[in-house]
């Protein structure tokens, strides 16, 4: 890891006007000094197909290779996702599948912070718990505290997509700081 810490942000929602995409934009605004973050739209990825996931990088779909390269060059990931049917949304799981295969799998041992926003009362608790299995299998380095579980998101974002709830903003900032601390301790 170089002097500048670089993060990759992913929204688990494909919906326009998504509270989780707004949450990701908030995270970009709140990254600590000396940290940069770019994002990737997972909606562009084709469905995972092992027949198209040949270890030779030139044989993977170009957009998949681009995604894998962005994951590989990032020092850590920030995932902001809704909860669908008590779990990880299909589009996000698809992205994880593309980035977790092969000896060159860029998710292996990758530090990660996960957050979620929902209009419901549970704040994406079950989706975040569902990720634990993936983190274990890929030997990823999750930052679990503080938990960012934004319930009743419609009351915490304004009509411009700005997170206006001070407590939630503070938790996002603390979570990013915890991720950066974990990256620095590994360096």
Q: Could you tell me which residues come within 8 angstroms of residue 79 by beta carbon, excluding any fewer than 6 positions away?
A: 9, 10, 12, 92, 112, 113, 114, 115, 131
Q: Could you tell me which residues come within 8 angstroms of residue 133 by beta carbon, excluding any fewer than 6 positions away?
A: none
pLDDT tens by residue, 77-90: 999 999 999 999 99
Q: Taking 70 as the threshold, does the pLDDT of residue 2 lie above it? A: no
pLDDT tens by residue, 128-145: 999 999 999 999 999 999
Q: Taking 60 as the threshold, does the pLDDT of residue 56 lie above it? A: no
Q: What is the mean pLDDT of residues 111-127?
A: 94
How far is it, in rounded angstroms, from Cα 95 to Cα 63? 11
Q: What is the mean pLDDT of residues 72-78?
A: 98
Q: Taking 70 as the threshold, does the pLDDT of residue 117 lie above it? A: yes
Q: What's the pLDDT score for residue 1? A: 45
5-186: CATH topology = Rossmann fold (3.40.50)
Q: Contact 23/172 with Cβ under 8 angstroms?
A: yes
Q: What is the mean pLDDT of residues 154-179?
A: 97
DSSP assignment string, 15-52: STT-HHHHHHHHHHHHPPTTEEEEEE-GGGSPPP-GGG
Q: Taking 90 as the threshold, does the pLDDT of residue 91 lie above it? A: yes
How far is it, in rounded angstroms, from Cα 144 to Cα 148? 9
């Amino acid at each position: 890891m170089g002097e500048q810490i670089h993060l990759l942000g992913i929204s688990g929602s494909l919906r326009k006007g998504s509270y989780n995409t707004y949450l990701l934009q908030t995270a970009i605004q709140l990254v600590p000094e000396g940290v940069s973050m770019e994002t990737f739209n997972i909606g562009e990825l084709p469905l995972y197909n092992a027949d198209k996931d040949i270890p030779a990088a030139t044989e993977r779909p170009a957009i998949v290779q681009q995604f894998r390269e962005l994951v590989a060059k990032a020092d850590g990931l920030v995932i902001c996702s809704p909860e669908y049917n008590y779990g990880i949304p299909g589009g996000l799981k698809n992205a994880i599948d593309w980035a977790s295969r092969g000896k060159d799998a860029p998710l292996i041992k990758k530090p990660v912070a996960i957050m979620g926003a929902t209009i419901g009362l549970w704040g994406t608790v079950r989706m975040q718990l569902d990720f634990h299995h993936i983190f274990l299998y890929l030997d990823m380095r999750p930052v679990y505290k503080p938990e960012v579980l934004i319930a009743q998101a419609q009351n915490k974002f304004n009509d411009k997509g700005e997170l206006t709830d001070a407590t939630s903003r503070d938790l996002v900032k603390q979570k990013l700081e915890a991720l950066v601390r974990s990256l620095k301790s590994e360096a």
